Amino acid sequence: MVSREVQAHDTVVRFGNAAVGGDKFAVIAGPCSVESEEQLLSVAEVVKKHGAVALRGGAYKPRTSPYDFQGMGVEGLKLLQKANQQLGIPTVSEVMEVSQMDAMCEYVDCLQIGARNMQNYALLKAVGESKKPVLLKRGLSATIEELLLAAEYIYDAGNPNIILCERGIRTYETATRNTLDLNAVAYLKQRTHLPVVVDPSHGTGVRELVIPLSRAAAAVGADGIIVESHLNPCEALSDGHQALTGPMFEQLMQELKPFVEAA
Ligand code: PEP
Ligand code: MN
């Protein structure tokens, strides 16, 4: 059902006043984790001012170590809702378990399925039944075919509002956090009608590489990017080393202008 053979025209996924897919390049931005009201609202204001169409922020965090910050939970979701109410920017946040679905649907506008859960079929069915827009990330070691089949689960459960996300895969290369597979973007744009976004933050793991890979994502035909941004990355509770500072986010938007403003 996600194949271009079934539907030739591009799907546009809408939530709030955001549209992903179609002619404009959509920038979704915000911190890796929601950490406090002041942290979230201040960065939300900056990314909104410079043209982000949606705010990202994790409240349930899939951390490699159980001793690292695990997210604010439902309090974080409430802060995302508050940011939307105050600034008029719709939100994207990761759902990790079926038991979180009620709260997620109440407080956020688009449900992110993280890389580690791309093949959590119970969760895929639950977001499929919810009808909320879904941002589905490619698994760390998933093939493109497996990503498409994960999307098929959501579609088959009744939800066609799916955004695919290339966020880098595991390879033998260790200089960067992951290897951003831009082949996948060009390939997916031919194979499926679903919008495809790129996550250059997790794709590289290095702040200084985020802007160049964002440009590359736009050039290869992605429908947008999802980037991590923090006004004080040294103090971030997760992924600070890959977060764009406020001035860097402004520069990113400057460089992406021709794509963001395309008619
Ligand atoms: C995130 O978006 O912060 C995240 C954990 O992403 P991924 O699932 O791609 O690792
Ligand atoms: Mn992160």
CATH of the domain spanning 13-61+70-257: 3.20.20.70
DSSP for 30-62, please give it: E-SB---HHHHHHHHHHHHHTT-SEEE-BSS--
With beta carbons less than 8 A apart as the criterion, state whether 80 and 93 touch. yes
Residues with CB under 6 A from ligand 1: 32, 58, 62, 114-116, 137, 167, 199, 202
Rounded to whole angstroms, how far apart are CA atoms 79 and 219? 34
Rounded to whole angstroms, how far apart are CA atoms 130 and 225? 24
- CA distance to 95, 129, 155, 159, per residue, from 101 (Å): 7, 11, 17, 15
Residue-wise pLDDT tens digits, 99-122: 999 999 999 999 999 999 999 999
Radius of gyration of the chain (CA): 16
Question: Which pTM does this prediction carry?
Answer: 0.98
Residue-wise pLDDT tens digits, 167-181: 999 999 999 999 999
Q: What's the pLDDT score for residue 87?
A: 98
User: Does residue 8 register a pLDDT over 70?
Assistant: yes
Q: In a 3-state reduction of DSSP, which class is residue 230?
A: coil
Q: What's the pLDDT score for residue 126?
A: 98
Please state the atom number of ligand 1 nearest to the C-alpha of residue 33.
3
Distance 228 CA to ligand 2 centre (A): 7
Residue-wise pLDDT tens digits, 31-83: 999 999 999 999 999 999 999 999 999 999 999 999 999 999 999 999 999 99
ipTM: 0.99
Helix (H), strand (E) at residue 256: helix 246-260
Place of tokens 């990790």: 96
Q: What's the pLDDT score for residue 120?
A: 98
User: Does residue 262 register a pLDDT over 80?
Assistant: no
Rounded to whole angstroms, how far apart are CA atoms 22 and 254? 21
Please state the atom number of ligand 1 nearest to the C-alpha of residue 168.
9
The model's confidence at residue 263, banded by pLDDT at 50, 70 and 90, is low
Residues near ion ligand 2 (CB < 5 Å) are 32, 239
